[in-house]
Structure 1
Amino acid sequence: MKSKYLSVLLASTAFSVILILWELLARYSGWSEYVLPKPLKVFVSMWEMTADGTLLRHSVASLFRVTAGFYLAVLFGIPLGIVLGRWKKFHHFLNPVIQFFRPISPLAWIPLSMLWFGIGDKPAIFLIFMSSFFPLVISTTVEVISVRPVFFNVAANFNFSNFEVITKIILPAILPAVITALRIALGIAWVVVVAAEMIAVKSGLGYLILDSRNALRMDYVIAGMIIIGLIGLLLDTAMKRLGRFDFLAWHSIEK
């Protein structure tokens, strides 16, 4: 318990130091408020946008796109990773293709996604899918390959079907590592959606930042950045807590 309070205290201290440095820089750097607004002005602007529903509307739009793209990546990425890790022929067949597309930045797909899907949610969801899909496939494949062969030998002795092997052996063994991969992929997805919204859509936190920059409202820009950071922190904390659940007890078993 003391360790938890100490962590909160240290984190609060770090943010306080950042606020103080921000205030000092805004006061004495010589920059105009149009370039670097003071913290109080930014927080007042955040309150205004919260009161009129602007922040909520754009935050919900961004979260919807992240949720849709991320769920699609989970739906296709984890099963494909299990197949690649469990059956060598599929691994030799598809792994070179996966490794070819994996290094391509999700943002490089922006021109094609706009041509294929037009303007709106679809190109942003596609970019989020592409950013999350490959980390999940790679992580799942590696974890399945690392499962100890003795578990599969036991399953063979009990005449487990492929479905039983996956549900009773593979999934419990890889789940802790997959949770970590989900946490990383979700962070990447949140970064990508902000970039995608600056180009392909007319709503969302990325669009809010771009539109505010065009209007020379740097207080709105920084307010949008703060909300992005807060939501990202909450999402990461939620995924981190998910990894502590009791059903992940297999994590203590050596693979």
Structure 2
Amino acid sequence: MKRMKIGKKLVNFLIGMVALVFIWQVIIWVGGYPEALLPSPLSVGKAIIVLIVEGTLFEHMQVSLGRFLAGYFLAVIPAILLGMILGRLPRIWQVIDPIVQVLRPVSPVAWSPFIVLWFGIGNMPAIVIIFISAFFPVLLTTVAGVNKIERSYLKIAENLEIKKVKLMVKFIFPAAFPSIVSGMRLAVGTGWIFLVAGEMVGAQSGLGFLIVDARNTLNLDYVLAGIIFIGVSGFLLDRFISLFERWIGKQWGMMARA
């Protein structure tokens, strides 16, 4: 049964990719775009092969993943802990929530002038931008998850004199986990998107730099190759979070999402 589901998903994925490439080629035919304006799938495929054979892709991918994971976990771990605490302190959250709602819509890239001044160039600007983009989704969904827990259950736990730390770990975190993991998936998407923007701010390596460097030399086939790598990598990261969610669900006896 599982093999059939995996097979169907793989077939659907391949059909979608083939359809995308076909639409891409049709746009070139209908619009009459030259290679200099919109490279064909064949040209981009050749660029992908060159990047793989030369090892350039894996070098930039390794750097980008390192930056992303650093910024992501630096954001997610404190956001979960803080969200679980603030979810239990509604009066304090009522004061903090307006501050969060004012800061959350601001694009992390808007902070880039200050980030470069404070942290210099290199890895840190990208890591800080990823941190900002990933922190708020996890914080808000964690607080929301804690607030959704039935108060009667919490009162029973208090009557049983369960210690606060044990209550957080054994009861509140598992109960709020579906909301938390939704925030983690949102954070993967936003963090990975702004990774590219972060690497365009003073970085000399990574997928974002690869795109900027190819654009500056007018190699648009390499630009599209970089875009494809970014999209595929983001898809795989999202799948990893989904597998993590299912694994946790099995450990706690919760129904995993299909």
Tell me the alpha carbon deviations over residues 75-104 of structure 1, each in whole angstroms, 9 at most, x when there is no partner. 211111011100223313422222221121
Structure 1 regions of 5+ residues with no counterpart?
none
> Which residue of the partner structure matches residue 213 of structure 1?
215
- The alignment status of 1:116 with 2:118, answered yes or no, reads yes
3-state DSSP of counterpart to 2:246: coil
The letter of the residue matching 1:158 is L
Tell me the alpha carbon deviations over residues 100-140 of structure 1, each in whole angstroms, 9 at most, x when there is no partner. 21121111111111111111111111110000101111100
Cα deviation, residue 250, structure 1: 4.7
> Which residue of the partner structure matches residue 176 of structure 1?
178
Tell me the alpha carbon deviations over residues 18-73 of structure 1, each in whole angstroms, 9 at most, x when there is no partner. 21222333345322212112212211111111111111111111111110010011
In the alignment, is the contact (CA less than 8 A) between 2:134 and 2:188 conserved in 1? yes
- The alignment status of 1:85 with 2:116, answered yes or no, reads no
Cα deviation, residue 3, structure 1: 4.4
In the alignment, is the contact (CA less than 8 A) between 1:70 and 1:189 conserved in 2? yes
Matches within 5 A, 1:127-206: 127-206=129-208
Structure 2: distance between partners of 1:64 and 1:47: 23
3-state DSSP of counterpart to 1:168: helix
Structure 1: distance between partners of 2:145 and 2:27: 47
Structure 2: distance between partners of 1:112 and 1:162: 39
In the alignment, is the contact (CA less than 8 A) between 1:81 and 1:141 conserved in 2? yes
TM-score by length of 1: 0.93
Cα deviation, residue 158, structure 1: 1.3
Matches within 5 A, 1:52-131: 52-131=54-133
Structure 1: distance between partners of 2:56 and 2:162: 54
Structure 2: distance between partners of 1:111 and 1:79: 29
TM-score by length of 2: 0.92
CA RMSD of aligned residues (A): 1.7
Among 227, 249, 253, the residue aligned to 2:253: 249
Structure 1: distance between partners of 2:9 and 2:55: 33
> Which residue of the partner structure matches residue 232 of structure 1?
234
Sort the Cα spacing of 1:25 and 1:88 in 2 relative to 1 into closer, same or farther, 3 A: closer
- The alignment status of 1:49 with 2:48, answered yes or no, reads no
